[in-house]
Amino acid sequence: MIGTFAAHGCRLPRRSIVWAWGWLVVSVASLASAQVVTVDTRTGAVTNGDTTVNTVGRAYQQITPTHIPLNKTALDPKTRLELERVLQAEQGFAMRPFPRGHKGLTLVANGKLEPYGESYLQMVTSAGLAAKPGERLVLSNVKIDHNRIVFDLNGGPDPKHRLLRHVSIGAGPMLNPVVQDNEQEPSGARLTLAFDKGIPELTGAEVKALLAPLISFDVKTPIQAFTDTLPSKLKEAILGHHVLVGMSTEMVLYAMGPPQTKTREMEGQMPFEEWIYGQPPKDVQFVRINGNQVIRLEIAKMGETPVIFTRNEVEGLMRTDGTPLTPASEAHPTQIGDVQRDSDTQAPNAPPSLRKPGETLPTDNEQRGVMKPVRFPKPASQPDSGSASQPESGKADEDDSHPAPQPGANPDEEQTPPSNPPK
């Protein structure tokens, strides 16, 4: 199902427009004239003009069909028995996530995969995961029909003896069930290889080649089986023992192995783990993990400034055909010690505030008076030498109304005139 929303020859107002069709909801804020937004609800791809962005991971997108030449002769009973003998209990490695469930995945010979995109992801989410990419698979059962071959992987998705598990044998109150498996839930998957016009004459090698997009039957090590399911750039990083921001913990373990030191800390309200690799004088890598993803990488070399990576480089690779959506991240070095600021070219840091970014207060718009320059008092003028020393009446200074006491006089004692005044 594909939904399209277009605006031709008109400019819509700047408000949210919601268009719903089934479970699909598309929100458009402002569309220019002749702009088309297409959403494919089957593949999960969003197309806006010439730009296409996948909303599901690369592991759930459509596969590249194989081109295996097939014989036009119908399968005879002898070849059928040979196929069952060759494929039974064969082991391989999963190239895509395999969901649980009775239906499972369907692969058309030299064709496409059903389901894929959002439907594939929804099946894995609802039914659960039977095998992750890179894990080992065992063909526990092979059933050949007139136009399809059904493979049960890792025991299959259905419980064994579904009818006999309801039968018990005994006398009186002592009854023993025929099937005694503690009613364990099956954890396997199912894969169907479908043909358009019946099953032709096939060999075991041809069947394995048809299943190659989903199961690899080559002899590999676990790390080879896992990296073959990843884009080339990510595969080279893991095989070269490099960590990228955005890797999962499984990728980090394949690339670097278990960490030498592991710590758990808090940054605000976010908990994280710090995986530390290496010891001085060698390079030391600090891998910060939140949940199941690397969010920060710091590389410290002896005698050099530590380098920090924070941009996610893996997300774009896992949603495309292996090409990044954004350019590679640039590392930014950190400065050790106090930050030096040039007062001639750099403005001082803003004072601390409790305001949110962009928040204004009612008092910000009030007009306040402009500060004027400070005026200092003028010094008093000195009198001339020929002028009278006594000030004019009524113009005496307030400070001069109380003369200072004479040196050696006690202000607490009362002053008495001398007994013999001078003549």
Residue ranges of the domains in the chain? 2-55, 77-162+185-223, 239-323
Is residue 307 very low, low, confident or very high in pLDDT (cuts 50, 70, 90)?
Answer: very high
* Phi, psi dihedrals of residue 253, rounded to the nearest 5°: -65, -40
pLDDT at 395 over 50: no
Query: Between residues 3 and 265, which one has the greater pLDDT?
Result: 265
CB atoms within 10 A of CB 5: 16
| C-alpha to C-alpha distance for 148 and 192, rounded to whole angstroms | 7
| C-alpha to C-alpha distance for 58 and 233, rounded to whole angstroms | 14
CATH 3.40.640.10 fits domain 239-323: no
- Check residue 110 and give its pLDDT: 92
The pLDDT tens digits for 413-423 are: 555 555 555 55
Q: What integer is the mean pLDDT of 273-299?
A: 93
- Check residue 26 and give its pLDDT: 41
The pLDDT tens digits for 76-131 are: 999 899 999 999 989 999 999 999 988 999 999 999 999 998 899 999 999 999 99
Token pair belonging to 241:
């023992």
pLDDT, averaged across the chain: 77
pLDDT at 56 over 90: no
User: Which three-class secondary structure string do you get for 71-122?
Assistant: CCCECCHHHHHHHHHHHCCCEEEECCCEECCCCCEEEECCCCEECCCHHHHH
The pLDDT tens digits for 134-168 are: 999 999 999 998 899 999 999 888 877 767 777 88
Token pair belonging to 216:
């690899």
| C-alpha to C-alpha distance for 214 and 225, rounded to whole angstroms | 12
pTM above 0.75, yes or no: no
Coarse DSSP helix, strand, coil percentages of the chain, rounded to the nearest 5 percent: 15, 25, 55
- Check residue 396 and give its pLDDT: 46
Q: Which amino acid, 322?
A: G
